[in-house]
Amino acid sequence: MFFSPWLTLRQAREALRAGQPDEAQRLLLPYAAQGYRKAQRLVREVARAYLDRAERNLRADQVDAAWTELLAAEALNTGEPRALPLRGTLTSYGLNGASTALETGHPVHALRLIGVLRGRGVRDAQLHQWEDVARSWVLAAEQANRGDFGPAKANLAAAAAGLAPPRDAGVARQRVDLDAREERFARSMPHLMAAAANEDWRQVVEAADAILTVAPEHREVRTLRANAWQALEPASRVSRAAEEPAASYAPAFALGAVGGGIGIAARPTWHRETAAYVGPRVVAAKPGTGEFAVLPGAPLPAQFLLWVDGVGGYLVCLGERVSLGQATADALPDVPIFAPIAGLHAELVRDEQGGYLIESARETTVNGTPTTRSVLRPGDRVTLGTCCQLVFHRPAAVSNTGRLELASGHRLPWAVNEVLLMDQTLILGTGEQAHVRLPDDRDPDAPDAPPYRVILHRSKDGLALKCPGKFRVDNRPATDRADLPLPASVQTDRFTFTLEPIGPRL
């Protein structure tokens, strides 16, 4: 049945007058494809409307939106003369962005921008040159991370050859850093080899750690380090050599019968079999029982898990430097994340004034800006790799403890909600100033009542707790304050939480 398109053409004109060229395009294309001349003329008007919007977006510095409108206009194949100069202007913007990324030392970001331009049909000779530069630079970084400094320096030189001053400033900085890393690598490797030959496994671990700071993906060093830890583990088991009097044990907690004596170890290690730490003055066994206790003055663990009933779990990191990386069998970051990132991707550093820095040799952005070293402020969003996102918080003005929120849905090996970067104090309570927020059950008739707070803090003997009123630690009564062993279970009149140590001790 014959049907006149006049109503559709009228609707298309109204859509154009309303500034909706995409709706007009949807209405017109079927008729334009059938050869209706009026529809074809209106399609040209649609293309001009797209170009108008692209120019407005460009004037507003919305370059991506301008590209979207330009590509929509070009897809109509109307041959509008304004499209070509507009494409040239937008291409210049993109090339300038890639050039800036290279100049500031961010080749991965430059490659991403170049890939976007290629996807938009840009075929500029300068683009091809900068792509070669960025690829050589990224390859050099990967080779340096593996300890292949010779090929890395050759590829970095090739990248520098493709950049004229001042665009070579980033490469120059990278070259200086590469020379320093190579020097440290060459200085540390003989110590590692000598320690391995002498089977001095503690020295192997220390030398390997020094090398992995400059070549984090060196396969042989990582393997040697893992083997050294395996060799150290038997030496760290609880021995029966009573080098200290058995009566010196502190209040104990049951962990299973393994005999008597004092646990003395060369390096503190977490025991899977006994679920306890052993190390110098760490664990004591009461003769004839299966009870162990943390001795006074024992070093704190580098990390522990905090489980708060009804609230959730937290990984608490006590070190001033906290490494972030992928959770794999051979990677050993402080915060292991199941995400497509490097094994040792970045480090968070807390300075003496309580400020936080993120340092990274791999692809990292803060609030969308690529960085290798950046000061973190509350609310900053850190992206590791392409998709692993963490949000930094510092809720309490009276404490330097920070908090990392896992914002991208990636998880850690433990079922924890967040990561806490504990300085001297950790506040559990109600209100905005708490690091761990508890349900606010204050009397609604007394809205001005002070918030409830329990403070976990460091002490000369390890960890201690300040809690108003009476509470219990491992079922032992306490009032207002108590020292905490690890592990420990705490019951207050408001909530219950437990501490579970993991990892080596500080």
Q: What is the mean pLDDT of residues 24-40?
A: 86
Q: Does position 294 have pLDDT exceeding 50, yes or no?
A: no
More confident residue, 194 or 447: 194
Q: Tell me if residue 58 falls in helix, strand or coil.
A: helix
Copy the structure tokens of residue 56: 């407005």
What mean pLDDT is predicted for residues 272-280?
36
pLDDT score of 112: 82
Is the predicted pLDDT of residue 90 greater than 90, yes or no?
A: yes
User: What would the mean pLDDT of 276-296 be, rounded to a whole number?
Assistant: 39
Give domain limits for the chain.
Answer: 6-80, 181-234, 236-294, 301-505
Q: What pTM value is reported for the model? A: 0.47
Top-confidence residue, 398 or 86? 86
Q: Which CATH number fits domain 301-505: 2.60.200.20, 3.90.226.10, 3.40.50.720, 2.130.10.10?
A: 2.60.200.20
Average the pLDDT over 100-108 and give the result: 84
Quote the pLDDT of residue 233.
Answer: 54
Instruction: Give the pLDDT confidence score for residue 152 in this predicted structure.
Output: 92
Read off the pLDDT of each residue in 335-364 and give the average, rounded to a whole number: 87
CA distance 307 to 486: 13
Concatenating the DSSP letter of every residue in 81-143 gives TTHHHHHHHHHHHHHHHHHHHHHTT-HHHHHHHHHHHHHTT---HHHHHHHHHHHHHHHHHHH
Residue/partner pairs of 322-327 with CB below 8 Å, 24 or more apart: 322/347, 322/348, 322/349, 322/421, 323/347, 324/348, 324/384, 324/390, 327/412, 327/413
pLDDT score of 241 more than 70: no
Percentage of the chain beyond pLDDT 70 is 83
Average pLDDT over residues 445-467: 82
User: What is the rounded CA–CA span in Å between residue 95 and residue 116?
Assistant: 11
What is the pLDDT at residue 4?
A: 63
Specify the pLDDT at position 329. 67
Specify the 3-state DSSP secondary structure of 481: strand
Tell me the pLDDT tens digit for each residue of 163-208: 888 778 888 888 898 999 999 999 999 999 999 999 898 888 888 8
Displacement of CA 102 from its chain's centroid (Å): 23
Mean pLDDT taken over the chain: 80
Kindly give, in sequence order, each residue whose CB lies less than 8 Å from that of residue 60, ignoring residues fewer than 6 positions away: none
Q: Is the pLDDT of residue 443 over 70?
A: no
Q: Is the pLDDT of residue 285 over 70?
A: no
What is the reported pLDDT for 381? 92
